[in-house]
């Protein structure tokens, strides 16, 4: 029977019961590889439930550094009887099934082409620990210990991490170390050589850090100078606001007075969240909200007001499966159109597409700058895959010489110097007007902000030319935004390529791996990662340079393609969609399969027509 | 909302306040509301209150929602920034504005459609969040802009101009504000400026969520027999629990004590609120009896006006969030950015 064998290149998946304390043990397992210098990418796969229901944690180990989901499972740690059958089914032929063998299982519970590896986890826990609750919790450490032995993970690396995690909690350290050792010793004694997958110390992690996208975006908001955050809990964005709270408490408390240089409001709903952000933005504070698709739906009226009244607003949309409640704990890139055109009437909004935590950090700070510069809503479009999973990425970086771009705000001195203030005057020809903040000047610069039409001096007006003037100016401003959003990133093929591929956001790791795999099959593709909307001119030029361009995205309706056609003057006929939208993060296997299949079709000579028609 | 500017000529004899402003300096554009609208009387009361308090007009931020009442901030304090936001959601916008700059005075103006229907949620939450503001609800019990439909504050059994009878129970905003934690709750009547101006002054001076429900008859659609928000009805059923005087602390306090017991409550801006009880049993600092009084009066068809509740130890959202004294919108890069060295430390902890 086939037996999978690999060093530092495999997928381990844990099937657990929600609430059983498995999360920290599984993360310990993943992090052990990092400490041994081997890149990993773990993913939480959890249905929308609270406790007692299934949850999975998948770890891809890749010395080469591929960080996307690969697809398929080489070693399944099956700790949930409820999902046993589907977990067993997921294994690659020749793969390994680690299970709790405390009670014998009939052969029908296994597959003929896989290798079961039994560890009497419950038995070990019961024999060594008296307390019922502890018995349950240590099971997780017992299987991690067993895995350490089976995969040649360095036990001391795991032990050190346990000591770090539970420092000053001697009892916890003790019981966790004991459980780890228990599993390790059992496997060493009884299961030597049972698994062909091995870990080996390497040097491929370097200075990289391991962080969730939501935490990185929250740090970006701290570094970017956000002082007001208003939010309403919604998966998968809640941990972003919570991380912002955590970092503010650490980094933004005034040393002299102990007082806070920030204000965070957990509002009563999304409508109030965005309302607070609009009010704060209007009054000159850098403000943001974090939400997901259903939240954006609720916010759209305010977003339209902010667009038309020209108020800086930053919205972080951590996308999940839609529409409606959709799949709250699954990932998608399906809010593009909802955000690009949020609200009624003619609206267009600026979108930023980070590909992982590092860009979450950079783009969050950039979003705050752009919102102030452009006086408009700016969306940071992340997703559950980026936001709620830890990713290996380059260290976050900040240039201390960087200064916040507060945009065109007229000061009291500006007003005193006699400059003409018309709130909606296009003084510089870039579509961006000047604003004043409340309280600036005793008798100059005050104006009335409203969602209704007005003239260049903010006076209510329903006169057609006044309305058209503002709407056209807003378009000019959008054209300016095109020059300010991050440029797309080109990954040229190693050989001349007739195909192009456009992708964005969390698709990036899978795409990079896929490009490599495709090149191996002789399919060469130039790839362009889009990072901002409105699309810089390079995007249309890229499409023009290729007869066919794949557009890879994680939604059903090809929303990026729609935006490219609608907003970048690109013909739909040149674009071929590759769509993945089952709620799981896209895999390199999927992209490679789809592109290779379609590319072969174009490479084949066209069949001769069966009948000539005169 | 049309914008008709007023001529800027000032009569030389106009009296200036202590900071040199005349009442005209507190005016805005010409009102486009119907002649006789109660809301215009409230605007006039606001003008007088701000003038009497010697507040520089530009230090006020006036925010409103949508509706007849929400149009009014354009008609007073022309040198203040105004914000006509979306229907019913002024409270959140005001909250955000207040968080950004705690140094200004925040005036929220709303109507009964705005605050008691679509905005009921935000109304409730801004009170429990205790945002430092004066929230004026211009309550006429009717939708004026859409020509006469009942609002959620229309009393059960009251009739519309078209003869329909309201069968829904009314939302009583003062009871709701009390329940939700507002620390200053009052009701006024647009036709009683003598009572309303001190109420507004006290609300502005109050260091927390101050709410005044002002019954403000709609002359076009709700000022007819059968309406409980008409001038005649309110005048006949008005039961004032107290009259107020607000004395700036920098002035020696000299008042007539002759009319019974008084309590003095120091306010945020240093002024002293002097409350003169008309009803010997009414204690405006007792929340429970305030609620009972309002309920009993409503059962008798009376409109209770005056300062209904005042928490002497009120504090505001900034105090609860423990924010720095410097307005958040004035903090610079150096105050806000933890810097690259700190980021290196954070990176190191993430390996």
CB contact under 8 A, B125 and A272: yes
User: To the nearest 10°, the Cα dihedral for A79, A81, A84, A87?
Assistant: -30
Separation of CA B160 from chain center: 26
Lowest mean pLDDT among A231-240, B254-263, B264-273: B254-263
pLDDT reported for residue B302: 86
Q: What is the pLDDT of residues A334-389, one digit of tens each?
A: 999 999 999 999 999 999 999 999 999 999 999 999 999 999 999 999 999 999 99
Lowest mean pLDDT among A153-162, A427-436, B61-70, B236-245: B236-245
Work out whether the CA dihedral A180, A182, A184, A185 comes out positive or negative.
Answer: positive
pLDDT reported for residue A603: 72
Host H or E run for residue A85: helix A84-90
Tokens 């037996």 sit on residue? A3
pLDDT reported for residue A70: 92
- Contact of A267 with chain B, judged by CB distance below 8 Å, is answered with yes
CB contact under 8 A, B351 and A210: yes
**Contact at 8 Å (CB) between A75 and A11?**
yes
Average pLDDT of B84-89?
96
Distance from CA of A521 to the nearest CA of B (A): 36
Predicted ipTM?
A: 0.94
Give the C-alpha separation, A205 to A179, whole Å: 28
**Contact at 8 Å (CB) between A312 and A375?**
yes
- Reply yes or no on whether the pLDDT at A255 is more than 50: yes
- Reply yes or no on whether the pLDDT at B279 is more than 80: no
Considering only the beta carbons, identify the residue of A261, A403, A447 that sits closest to B331. A261
CB contact under 8 A, A439 and B104: yes
Contacts of A259 in chain B (CB under 8 A): 322-325
Distance from CA of A11 to the nearest CA of B (A): 21
CB contact under 8 A, B99 and A281: no
For residue A436, give the chain B residue with the closest CA: B81
CB contact under 8 A, B89 and A275: yes
Q: Which residues share a beta bridge with B64?
A: B84, B109
pLDDT reported for residue B1: 45
Spatial CA neighbour of B98 closest among B266, B210, B249, B247: B210
Enter the DSSP assignment of A573. G
Give the C-alpha separation, B281 to B294, whole Å: 13
Contacts of B342 in chain A (CB under 8 A): 251
- Reply yes or no on whether the pLDDT at B260 is more than 60: no
Q: Kindly indicate the confidence band of residue A154, based on its pLDDT and cuts at 50, 70 and 90.
A: very high
Spatial CA neighbour of B143 closest among B226, B69, B90, B86: B69
Q: Kindly indicate the confidence band of residue B10, based on its pLDDT and cuts at 50, 70 and 90.
A: low
Spatial CA neighbour of B130 closest among B268, B229, B246, B19: B268
Give the C-alpha separation, A100 to A119, whole Å: 5
Spatial CA neighbour of A315 closest among A269, A263, A259, A376: A376
CB contact under 8 A, B85 and A305: yes
Task: Name the average pLDDT for chain B.
Answer: 89
Kindly give, in sequence order, each residue whose CB lies less than 8 Å from that of residue A401, ignoring residues fewer than 6 positions away: none
Considering only the beta carbons, identify the residue of A252, A279, A281 that sits closest to B92. A279
CB contact under 8 A, A222 and B338: yes
Spatial CA neighbour of A382 closest among A290, A481, A470: A290
pLDDT reported for residue A611: 58
- Reply yes or no on whether the pLDDT at A559 is more than 80: yes
pTM here? 0.94
Q: Which of residues 7-36 of A touch B (CB under 8 A)?
A: 34
Average pLDDT of B301-312?
91
CB contact under 8 A, B92 and A262: no
Phi, then psi, of A253 in degrees rounded to 5: -100, 130
Q: How much of chain B is in helix, strand and coil states, percent to nearest 5?
A: 35, 20, 45
Q: Which residues share a beta bridge with A504?
A: A530
CB contact under 8 A, B324 and A208: no
For residue B324, give the chain A residue with the closest CA: A259
pLDDT reported for residue A404: 98
Q: What is the pLDDT of residues A184-198, one digit of tens each?
A: 999 999 999 999 999
SS3 A350: strand
Q: Kindly indicate the confidence band of residue B251, based on its pLDDT and cuts at 50, 70 and 90.
A: very low
Instruction: Quote the Cα angle for B160-B164-B165, to 5°.
Output: 90
Concatenating the DSSP letter of every residue in B99-137 gives: HH-TTSEEEEEEEHHIIIIITHHHHHHHHHHT-SEEEEE
SS3 B303: strand
Q: Kindly indicate the confidence band of residue A19, based on its pLDDT and cuts at 50, 70 and 90.
A: confident
- Reply yes or no on whether the pLDDT at A612 is more than 50: no
Q: Kindly indicate the confidence band of residue A199, based on its pLDDT and cuts at 50, 70 and 90.
A: very high
Rounded alpha-carbon distances, angstroms, from residue A195 to A119, A120, A512: 13, 17, 30
Contacts of B108 in chain A (CB under 8 A): none
- Reply yes or no on whether the pLDDT at B253 is more than 60: no
Contacts of A440 in chain B (CB under 8 A): 58
Concatenating the DSSP letter of every residue in A287-301 gives: EEEEE-HHHHHHHHH
CB contact under 8 A, A284 and B347: no
- Reply yes or no on whether the pLDDT at A49 is more than 80: no
Peptide bond into A534 cis (omega under 30): yes
Average pLDDT of B177-181?
97
pLDDT reported for residue A604: 63
Q: Kindly indicate the confidence band of residue B277, based on its pLDDT and cuts at 50, 70 and 90.
A: low
pLDDT reported for residue B255: 36
pLDDT reported for residue B252: 41
pLDDT reported for residue B228: 87
- Contact of A439 with chain B, judged by CB distance below 8 Å, is answered with yes
Tokens 């059960």 sit on residue? B156
Question: A260, A274, A276: best mutation site toward chain B, by most B Cβ within 10 Å?
Answer: A276
CB contact under 8 A, B97 and A209: no
pLDDT reported for residue B272: 75
Q: Kindly indicate the confidence band of residue A610, based on its pLDDT and cuts at 50, 70 and 90.
A: low
Give the C-alpha separation, A537 to A121, whole Å: 59
For residue A435, give the chain B residue with the closest CA: B81
Give the C-alpha separation, B314 to A425, whole Å: 43
């Amino acid at each position: 029977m086939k037996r999978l064998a690999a060093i530092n290149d495999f997928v381990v998946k844990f099937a657990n019961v929600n609430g059983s304390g498995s999360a920290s043990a599984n993360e310990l397992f993943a992090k052990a590889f990092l400490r041994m210098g081997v890149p990993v990418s773990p993913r939480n796969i959890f249905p929308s439930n609270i406790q007692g229901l299934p949850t999975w944690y998948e770890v891809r180990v890749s010395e080469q550094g591929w960080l996307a989901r690969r697809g398929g499972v080489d070693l399944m740690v099956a700790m949930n009887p409820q999902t046993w059958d589907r977990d067993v089914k997921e294994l690659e032929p020749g793969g390994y099934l680690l299970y709790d063998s405390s009670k014998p299982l009939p052969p029908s519970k296994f597959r003929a082409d896989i290798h079961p590896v039994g560890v009497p986890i419950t038995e070990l826990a019961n024999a060594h620990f008296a307390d019922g609750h502890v018995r349950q919790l240590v099971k997780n450490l017992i299987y991690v210990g067993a895995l350490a032995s089976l995969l040649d993970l360095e036990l001391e690396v795991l032990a050190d991490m346990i000591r770090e995690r539970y420092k000053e909690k001697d009892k916890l350290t003790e019981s966790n170390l004991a459980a780890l050792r228990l599993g390790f010793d059992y496997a060493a004694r009884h299961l030597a050589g049972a698994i062909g997958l091995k870990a080996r110390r390497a040097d491929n992690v370097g200075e990289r850090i391991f962080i969730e996208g939501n935490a990185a975006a929250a740090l970006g908001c701290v570094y970017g100078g956000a002082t007001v955050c208003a939010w309403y809990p919604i998966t998968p964005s809640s941990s972003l606001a919570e991380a912002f709270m955590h970092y503010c408490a650490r980094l933004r408390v005034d040393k002299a007075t102990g007082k806070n240089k920030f204000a965070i409001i957990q509002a009563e709903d999304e409508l109030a969240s965005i309302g607070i952000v609009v009010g704060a933005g209007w009054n000159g504070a850098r403000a943001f909200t974090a939400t997901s698709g259903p939240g954006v739906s609720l916010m759209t009226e305010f977003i339209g007001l902010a667009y038309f009244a020209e108020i800086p607003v930053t919205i972080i949309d951590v996308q999940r499966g839609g529409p409606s409640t959709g799949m709250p704990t699954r990932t998608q890139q399906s809010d593009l159109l909802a955000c690009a055109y949020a609200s009624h009437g003619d609206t267009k909004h600026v979108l930023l597409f980070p590909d992982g935590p590092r860009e979450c950090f950079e783009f969050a700070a950039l979003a705050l700058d752009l919102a102030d510069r452009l006086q408009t809503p700016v969306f940071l479009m992340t997703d559950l895959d980026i936001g709620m999973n830890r990713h290996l990425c380059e260290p976050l970086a900040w240039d201390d010489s960087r200064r916040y771009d507060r945009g065109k705000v007229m000061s009291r001195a500006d007003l005193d110097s006699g400059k003409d203030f018309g709130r909606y005057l296009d003084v510089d020809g870039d579509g961006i007007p000047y604003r004043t903040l409340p309280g600036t000047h005793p008798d100059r610069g005050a104006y009335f902000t409203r969602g209704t039409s007005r003239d260049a001096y903010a006076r209510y007006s329903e006169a057609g030319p006044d309305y058209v003037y503002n709407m056209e100016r807003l378009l000019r401003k959008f054209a300016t935004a095109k020059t300010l959003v991050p440029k797309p990133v080109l990954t040229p093929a190693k050989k001349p390529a007739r195909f192009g591929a456009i992708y964005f956001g969390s698709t990036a790791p899978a795409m990079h791996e896929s490009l490599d795999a495709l090149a191996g099959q002789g399919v060469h593709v130039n790839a362009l990662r889009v990072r901002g909307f409105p699309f810089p001119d390079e995007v249309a030029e890229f499409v023009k340079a290729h007869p066919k361009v794949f557009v890879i995205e994680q939604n059903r309706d090809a929303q990026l393609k729609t935006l490219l056609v609608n907003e970048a003057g690109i013909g739909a006929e040149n674009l071929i969609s590759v769509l993945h939208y089952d709620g799981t993060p896209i895999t390199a296997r999927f992209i490679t399969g789809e592109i290779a299949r379609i590319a072969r079709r174009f490479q084949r000579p066209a069949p001769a027509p069966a009948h000539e028609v005169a | 909302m049309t914008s008709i500017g007023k001529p800027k000529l000032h009569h030389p004899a106009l009296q200036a306040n202590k900071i040199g402003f005349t009442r005209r300096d507190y005016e805005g554009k010409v009102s486009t509301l119907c002649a006789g609208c109660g809301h215009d009387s409230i605007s006039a009361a606001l003008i007088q209150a701000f003038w009497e308090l010697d507040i520089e007009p530009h230090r006020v931020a006036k925010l409103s929602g949508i509706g007849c009442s929400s149009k009014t901030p354009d008609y007073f304090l022309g040198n203040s920034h105004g914000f006509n936001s979306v229907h019913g959601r002024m409270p959140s916008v005001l909250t955000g504005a207040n968080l950004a700059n705690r140094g200004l005075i925040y005036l929220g103006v709303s109507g009964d459609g705005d605050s008691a229907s679509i905005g009921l949620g935000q109304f409730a939450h801004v009170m429990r969040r205790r945002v430092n503001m004066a929230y004026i609800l211009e309550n006429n019990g009717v939708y004026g802009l859409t020509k006469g439909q009942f609002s959620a504050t229309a009393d059960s059994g009251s009739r519309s101009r078209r003869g329909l009878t309201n069968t829904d129970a009314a939302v009583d905003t003062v009871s709701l504000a009390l329940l939700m934690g507002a620390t200053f709750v009052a009701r006024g009547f647009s036709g009683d400026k003598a009572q309303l101006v001190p109420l507004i002054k006290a609300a502005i001076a109050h260091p927390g969520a101050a709410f005044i429900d002002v019954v403000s008859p709609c002359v076009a659609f709700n000022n007819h027999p059968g309406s409980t928000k008409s001038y005649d009805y309110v005048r006949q059923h008005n039961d004032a629990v107290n009259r107020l005087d607000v004395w700036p602390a920098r002035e020696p306090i000299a008042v007539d004590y002759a009319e019974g017991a008084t309590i003095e409550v120091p306010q945020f801006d240093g002024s002293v609120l002097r409350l003169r009880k008309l009803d010997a049993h009414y204690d405006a600092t007792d929340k429970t009896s305030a609620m009972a009084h309002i309920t009993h009066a409503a059962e008798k068809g009376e409109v209770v006006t005056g300062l209904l509740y005042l928490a002497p130890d009120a504090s505001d959202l900034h105090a609860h969030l423990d924010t720095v004294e410097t307005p958040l919108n004035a903090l610079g890069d150096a105050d806000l950015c933890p810097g690259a060295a700190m980021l290196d430390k954070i990176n190191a902890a993430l390996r």
